Amino acid sequence: MTLTNRKHQQLNILDASIPARTLIFSLVIPSFIEELGQILTMYVDTAMVGHISVNASAAIAVNQPILMLTNGFNYGLALGFSVMVARYIGENHPEDAREVMRNAMFHIAWFGVLLNVLYIFLIAPNFARWMNADTSIWDDAGDYIRILGYTRIFLAMLSINCNLLRGMGDTRRPMFCNVLHNIINVIFNYLLIFPSRTISLFGMACPMIGAGMGVAGAAAATSFANICSGLLSMYFVLRKDNQVTFDRKHVIGFNSLLLRRTYRLGIPIALERLVLSSGQLVSTRMLAGLGNHVVAAHSYANTAESICYMPINGFGVAATTIVAQWLGAGNANKAIELGNKCIKYACEIMAVCAILMFIFAPQLVGIFTTDEQAIAMAAQALRVQAFAELFVAVANTVSGILRGAGDTKFSSVMSMVGMWGVRVPLAFILIKFFGFGLLGVWFPMALDWTMRCLLMTIRYRRGKWKAAWKTA
């Protein structure tokens, strides 16, 4: 039995006649649209809540590190499943790819339930206090994270299923899932955050219903979006026109050897996200003691900077799938050729984004708030990071190449060294002893990315990563 692409839902990555640019951008553009939707949703979320009060923004911002930590950990494990599926497709082993998908369903069940329990009973009652946040935002922060906790299993479902589809070369359906998530989130934000009111539409006064739930309304909107998009991703994975399909009567499987191999690939990526998120958690805690304005400005700057990551994450996703399939097919030269193209295109696009971010930093932050103090602080942070964005592009894309080869441990080690050897200690020194405030976190961040880029490039050029799959 061979693997074939059906109804053009999955791109035939192993078709050597497809020009490199066409192949790469066929994967990148849907991912870019997906990222764009997520960023726009973040913009809308932050702007809506920001117009309630700075305290409301801080109540959400203080929870961002734990959300990034748990979401990142699950995403790392999801990439392990994606790499396994892509590699087995390249090797033309459909039964092995199918078994990976069955075990992915088992992972969704146990890991999703675990996250639900942790969020509701451990994180929600305690996290704002652990972060040393101002007591004025504890109640809102706890409500926000508890409501999100009820649907963590659906978010795990969305992440795992979308990565399975990407491993097959299908970036369109994950895009549809995330676009749906964003649309639902924005609509229900508008209905749930604000109270009933009268709005002006084409010069006419129109009544607008609203629940007036504030921060809790933002969480409820996101939770409903998690449910809808998670279920849609499951529908896409179960469709019969996928490149890899399985009997719907045997959706869940448990193969301890295969799961261990998948986790050996995914856990280093998950730990990398864990290291980054834990460092960001510590950094946010440092800033929390400086007041709600600083915490809110940090959140605004992070959200605004994410616009530069929109296309770059797409190149990382494309590089992972392309390299995994071509190495699986036994053609390392083609994998390297396409990997180099991914790096080149990522740098070209990132250069333009970084320049625009530097020039329009105050305007970007001004979308979220009218507070002049927060705008000034966040704009300064963005302009510092603009000088490091090319290093971010290289590091992220090379990391995608290494992941596709099964070399997932190196980037995890680099993240640990960069975060805990550079970023966190330097931030502590700059904030504690030199009074740098918000920039005390952003200067070390730029230095961390610069160092990581150089070390990742050296690893890539040496080429040992091409044989990493054999030891995975």
Give per-residue pLDDT as tens, 265-274: 888 877 877 7
What does the pLDDT look like over 7-33, one tens digit per residue? 445 678 888 888 989 989 888 888 777
Would you state the pLDDT for residue 46?
A: 65
Tell which wins on pLDDT, 472 or 121: 121
Mean pLDDT, the chain, rounded, equals: 86
Tell which wins on pLDDT, 217 or 471: 217
Whether 142 is in a domain gets the answer: yes
Whether 9 is in a domain gets the answer: no
Tokens of 45: 């979320």
Would you state the pLDDT for residue 201?
A: 66
Whether 342 is in a domain gets the answer: yes
For residue 432, pLDDT beyond 50: yes
415: closest CA among 448, 443, 386?
Answer: 448
Would you state the pLDDT for residue 471?
A: 55
Would you state the pLDDT for residue 119?
A: 95
For residue 354, pLDDT beyond 70: yes
Whether 329 is in a domain gets the answer: yes
For residue 407, pLDDT beyond 90: no
Q: Which domain holds residue 424?
A: 20-471
Question: What does the alpha-carbon distance between residue 82 and residue 342 come to, in Å, rounded to a whole number?
Answer: 19
For residue 150, pLDDT beyond 90: yes
- Tell me what percent of the residues of the chain surpass a pLDDT of 90: 38
Would you state the pLDDT for residue 262?
A: 85
Whether 290 is in a domain gets the answer: yes
Tokens of 311: 């296309």
Q: What is the mean pLDDT of residues 403-426?
A: 87
Whether 175 is in a domain gets the answer: yes
Would you state the pLDDT for residue 300?
A: 85
Whether 136 is in a domain gets the answer: yes
- For the chain, the straight-line distance linking the first and the last C-alpha, in angstroms and rounded, comes to 25
Residue ranges of alpha helices (H) inside 289-408 are: 292-328, 332-359, 361-366, 372-386, 389-405
Would you state the pLDDT for residue 34?
A: 73
Would you state the pLDDT for residue 10?
A: 61
What does the pLDDT look like over 287-296, one tens digit per residue? 877 888 888 8
For residue 339, pLDDT beyond 90: yes
Window from 92-106, 297-311, 387-401, 425-439 with minimum mean pLDDT: 297-311
Q: What is the mean pLDDT of residues 34-63?
A: 73
**pLDDT category, 41, cuts 50, 70, 90?**
low
For residue 313, pLDDT beyond 50: yes
Whether 445 is in a domain gets the answer: yes
Would you state the pLDDT for residue 304?
A: 83
Q: What is the mean pLDDT of residues 75-81?
A: 85
The domain total for the chain is: 1
* 183-187 own/partner pairs: CB under 8 Å, 24+ apart: 183/37, 184/221, 184/224, 184/225, 184/228, 184/229, 185/41, 185/45, 185/221, 185/222, 185/224, 185/225, 186/41, 186/44, 186/221, 187/221
